[in-house]
């Protein structure tokens, strides 16, 4: 489904973020990308979303060369990939319901469709009681669940999570990881970037380990060793 082919990214003047990275992710997989801060996890995600261009190499999404997609079609490509971030990136002036609905609106969904889908997805992430609260009134875990709801509402094929639990306590962390597993069980491919040892070791999923921009390990049921 997704394949990275010899991706190298060098930020000027000569900071090597990724070097000759190649791997493949199958549909419905749950993949962890691990490594210390600065190992290149975020760069990898940015390249997948085409927020950055690689210095060398190619990325294919369902057989299509990501970097030759015309600019006009880019939004349609990005719709296939849901993203959640460490800092949630919720719209502060909109309540939970509107935050989730906004993602549907920009895709041009109709009012009836929104009224049908948003409550469902809020129920899935367990936020049905907080629909009319603003982000400032939510706990960290609730904010991340709202962000997940927003990512899911457009039915992405892949959900990319960049350190989604970085700001959360262990209790809420487990909450979010359980939710991601649930989503994965529905068939959505999950790419989870993290450096949380407990998450990696408890999940027993495929782990791709990055160090200084290179893949040093790629193993099924991997562990975080350092």
Partner 1 sequence: MFTPLKRIISYGFKNFRRQPTLHIATVFILVISLSLFSSLLLFRSGIKYIVAEIQKKIDVSVYLKKEAPQELVEEIKKGLVGLEEVEEVEYISEDEALKEFKERHKDDPLILESLEVIGENPFYPSFNIKARSAGQYAAILTFLERDKFKDAVLKVDYTKKQPLIEKIFKITSSLNLGGLLLTIFLGLIAVLVTFNTVRIAIKDASEEIAIMKLVGASNWYVRGPFIVQGVICGVLASIITFLLFFLLSYFSAPKIVALTGGFNIFAWFGAHAFSLFLFQLGLGIGLSVLSGLIAIRKYLNV
Among 75, 116, 132, 139, binds partner 1 (CB under 8 A): 75
Question: Within 104-143, which residues bind partner 1 (CB under 8 A)?
Answer: 105-108, 110-111
Question: Within 11-70, which residues bind partner 1 (CB under 8 A)?
Answer: none
Positive/negative CA dihedral, 66, 72, 73, 79: positive
- Asked whether the beta carbons of 7 and 56 are under 8 A apart, the reply is yes
Main-chain phi, psi angles of 94, to 5 degrees: -120, 145
78 lines the binding site for partner 1 (CB under 8 A): yes
Burial tier of 146 (Cβ tally within 10 Å: 0-12, 13-18, 19+): buried
Kindly indicate which of the ranges 18-26, 78-86, 117-125, 161-169 contains the residues binding partner 1, using the contact rule CB under 8 A: 78-86
Beta bridge partners of 161: 84, 192
79 lines the binding site for partner 1 (CB under 8 A): yes
93 lines the binding site for partner 1 (CB under 8 A): yes
* Closer to partner 1 by Cβ: residue 150 or 206: 150
Among 39, 44, 59, 90, binds partner 1 (CB under 8 A): 90
Kindly indicate which of the ranges 39-47, 83-91, 173-181, 202-210 contains the residues binding partner 1, using the contact rule CB under 8 A: 83-91
Kindly indicate which of the ranges 89-97, 136-144, 169-177, 189-197 contains the residues binding partner 1, using the contact rule CB under 8 A: 89-97
Q: Whole-number minimum distance, CB 22 to partner 1, in Å?
A: 27
Give CB contacts under 8 A, 24+ apart, made by 132-135. 132/95, 132/96, 132/97, 133/95, 133/96, 134/92, 134/93, 134/94, 134/95, 134/96, 135/88, 135/90, 135/91, 135/92, 135/96, 135/99
Taking alpha carbons only, the member of 158, 217, 148, 164 closest to residue 30 is: 158
Number of residues that bind partner 1 (CB under 8 A): 19
Q: How far apart are CA 23 and CA 25, in angstroms?
A: 7
How far out from the chain centre does Cα 208 lie? 15
Beta bridge partners of 216: none
Q: Whole-number minimum distance, CB 91 to partner 1, in Å?
A: 5
83 lines the binding site for partner 1 (CB under 8 A): yes
102 lines the binding site for partner 1 (CB under 8 A): yes
Kindly indicate which of the ranges 39-47, 98-106, 175-183, 206-214 contains the residues binding partner 1, using the contact rule CB under 8 A: 98-106
167 lines the binding site for partner 1 (CB under 8 A): no
User: Can you give the binding site for partner 1, defined by CB under 8 A?
Assistant: 75, 78-79, 83, 89-93, 102-103, 105-108, 110-111, 150, 154
């Amino acid at each position: 489904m997704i394949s990275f082919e010899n991706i190298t990214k060098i930020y000027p003047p000569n900071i090597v973020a990724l070097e000759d990275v190649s791997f493949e992710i199958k549909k419905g997989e749950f993949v962890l990308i691990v490594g210390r801060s600065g190992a290149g996890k975020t760069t990898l995600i940015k390249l997948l979303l085409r927020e950055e261009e690689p210095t060398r190499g190619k990325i294919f999404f369902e057989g299509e060369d990501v970097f030759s997609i015309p600019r006009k079609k880019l939004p349609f490509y990005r719709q296939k990939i849901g993203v959640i971030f460490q800092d949630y990136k919720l719209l502060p002036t909109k309540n939970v319901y509107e935050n989730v609905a906004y993602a549907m609106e920009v895709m041009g969904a109709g009012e009836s469709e929104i009224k049908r889908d948003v409550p469902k997805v809020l129920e899935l992430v367990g936020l049905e009681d907080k629909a009319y609260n603003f982000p400032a009134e939510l706990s960290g875990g609730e904010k991340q669940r709202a962000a997940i709801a927003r990512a899911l509402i457009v039915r992405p094929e892949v959900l990319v999570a960049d350190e989604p639990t970085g700001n959360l306590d262990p209790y809420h962390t487990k909450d979010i990881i359980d939710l991601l597993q649930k989503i994965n069980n529905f068939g959505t491919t999950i790419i989870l970037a993290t450096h949380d040892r407990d998450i990696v070791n408890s999940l027993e999923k495929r782990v791709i380990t990055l160090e200084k921009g290179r893949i040093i390990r790629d193993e099924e049921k991997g562990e975080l060793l350092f």
